[in-house]
C-alpha cells in the first residue's frame, strides 16, 4: 500500500536507538499507509536544548520541501519537542500528534512526586535528561503562549484512561484536540495510540 502520510517520529526518554518494538510498529504502520522516519533523540546527551531544537527544526523544513505535508509524532518525552518544532517552523502543512506526553508544568497534589525535575532525573548521573527538562519548560513558558489558534487546531494529544508516569494535567493544551484511547499505564497508552495512529492521522486531516 503506498504511503499516504509522512511522519517524523520523536522517541521518548532513552538513547534514541530504534528499539525492536519501534521497528515492528513502523512495519505495521507502513502496511497501513503511514511512512515513519525515526528521528533519534538521545535525551541523555549533553547537547544543549537550543541546539537540539534548531537541528530538528532544520530537518523538518527539509522534509517539508520533499513531501509538502508532514506529521510530527512525539512519544512521551518527544511530545514537547514536537510542539516546540511546530511553533518554530510555523508551516501550515505541519501537524503534531503527541502520545501520552508531558507538554508543560501544572500544580500537583503534595503526594504526587511526578514533578518535572524528578522525572527528568536531574542530578542523577547516568540517567539525567536535561534536554527533556528544558524541552518541557520551553514548551510551557515560551511555545504554548505563542501558538496561534490555527496551530492549536493542528495538534492532537493522545491520552489514555490513566497514566502513572505523566500527570494528566500536563498533557493538554487549550484549543487542541484530545484523542482518548483505552488503556491503563504509560506504555499501554503509547502502544494503543500507535496502533490507532492511521485513524488519528486521518482525523487530523479533517481538522
Query: What are 98's three cell numbers?
Result: 503527541
pLDDT value at position 203?
A: 78
* Residue closest to 9 by CA, chosen among 28, 22, 21: 22
pLDDT value at position 202?
A: 83
Mean pLDDT, the chain, as a whole number? 95
103-128 confidence digits (pLDDT tens): 999 999 999 999 999 999 999 998 99
Please say if the pLDDT value at position 3 is more than 90. no
**How open is the CA angle 176-191-100, to the nearest 5 degrees?**
35
161-203 confidence digits (pLDDT tens): 999 999 999 999 999 999 999 989 999 999 999 999 999 998 7
Rounded Cα gap, residues 14 and 146, in angstroms = 29
Q: At what angle do helices 186-195 and 197-205 cross, to 10 degrees?
A: 60
Query: Residue 114 in contact with residue 108, Cβ under 8 Å?
Result: yes
CATH for 5-205 (3.40.50.1820, 3.40.640.10, 3.30.70.20, 3.20.20.70): 3.40.50.1820
Rounded Cα gap, residues 95 and 75, in angstroms = 14
Phi-psi region for residue 74, left (φ > 0), alpha (ψ -120 to 50) or beta?
Answer: beta
SS3 9: strand
Amino acid at each position: 500500500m503506498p504511503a499516504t502520510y509522512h511522519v517524523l517520529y520523536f522517541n521518548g526518554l532513552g538513547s534514541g536507538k530504534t528499539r525492536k518494538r519501534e521497528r515492528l510498529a513502523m512495519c505495521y504502520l507502513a502496511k497501513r499507509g503511514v511512512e515513519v522516519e525515526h528521528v533519534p533523540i538521545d535525551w541523555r546527551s549533553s547537547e544543549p536544548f537550543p541546539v537540539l531544537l534548531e537541528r530538528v527544526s532544520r530537518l523538518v523544513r527539509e522534509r517539508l520541501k520533499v513531501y509538502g505535508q508532514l506529521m510530527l509524532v512525539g512519544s512521551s518525552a518527544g511530545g514537547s519537542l514536537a510542539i516546540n518544532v511546530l511553533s518554530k517552523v510555523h508551516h501550515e502543512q505541519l501537524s503534531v500528534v503527541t502520545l501520552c506526553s508531558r507538554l508543560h508544568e501544572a500544580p500537583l497534589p503534595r503526594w504526587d512526586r511526578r514533578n518535572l525535575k524528578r522525572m527528568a532525573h536531574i542530578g542523577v548521573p547516568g540517567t539525567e535528561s536535561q534536554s527533556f527538562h528544558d524541552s518541557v519548560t520551553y514548551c510551557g513558558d515560551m511555545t504554548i503562549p505563542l501558538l496561534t489558534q490555527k496551530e492549536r487546531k493542528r495538534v492532537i494529544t493522545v491520552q489514555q484512561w490513566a497514566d502513572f508516569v505523566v500527570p494528566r494535567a500536563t498533557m493538554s493544551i487549550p484549543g487542541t484536540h484530545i484523542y482518548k484511547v483505552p488503556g491503563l499505564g504509560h506504555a499501554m497508552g503509547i502502544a494503543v495510540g500507535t496502533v490507532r495512529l492511521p485513524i488519528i492521522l486521518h482525523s487530523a486531516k479533517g481538522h
